Amino acid sequence: MNRNNAGKKPFPWTCSRCREKALFPAIIDHAVDVGHDGRMYHVKVEGLKTPKCKKCGLVSPDSEANEQITRAFLRLAKLLTPTQIRINREALDLTQEQLASALGIAEATVSRWENGVQIQQRSLDNLLRLFFGVPKARSLLIKGKLNTIVLVAKTPAMALT
């Protein structure tokens, strides 16, 4: 079943494991391991409203439950939420295209972050925090002036020819 349409069809739903029409709304404590950026996170959500099979016990999160799990993951991983990214961008009066250009990424990537379709990597979350929170860093990124930053170590191997 398409998860995007799952909430529109009345219960009971057919269970993907036992094939019985036994999926009903339930409120459960749910735990799931989420891999992100080469690390595993054990995400716990208490009181998750999600379909569960009364016959075999399969938990089958719909789109609303998946959003709740994602929010719990973002809190656990201490990553910016889609809303935080959008609000900070808008507070600076920037378009998605302008933010993407400053960060050196595709505009579609910013859109996916803000729509919750994609979760940013830790390194890009750090860059977003610098961009939003440090005016000097933001200015350098917007103006494309990162090459003016003096590097700590200057070696012959670093020289451009």
Architecture of domain 23-77: Roll (3.10)
At the topology level, CATH places domain 82-147 in 434 Repressor (Amino-terminal Domain) (1.10.260)
Query: DSSP labels for 45-111?
Result: EEEEEEEEETTT--B---HHHHHHHHHHHHHHHT---HHHHHHHHHHTT--HHHHHHHHTS-HHHHH
Tens of pLDDT, residue by residue, the chain (161 residues): 344 445 468 999 999 999 999 999 999 999 999 999 999 999 999 999 999 999 999 999 999 999 999 999 999 999 999 999 999 999 999 999 999 999 999 999 999 999 999 999 999 999 999 999 999 999 999 998 888 888 888 776 655 54
Lookup: tokens for 100: 């993407």
The span from the CA of 44 to the CA of 130, in Å, is 29
Q: pLDDT per residue over 119-129, tens digit each?
A: 999 999 999 99
The full set of domain ranges for the chain reads 23-77, 82-147
Backbone angles phi, psi at 56, to 5 degrees: -105, -10
pLDDT for res 4: 46
The span from the CA of 93 to the CA of 116, in Å, is 21
Q: pLDDT per residue over 142-152, tens digit each?
A: 998 888 888 88
pLDDT for res 158: 58
Q: Which of 79, 82, 76 is nearest to 42 (CA)?
A: 76
Domain pair 23-77 / 82-147, same fold: no
pLDDT for res 19: 97
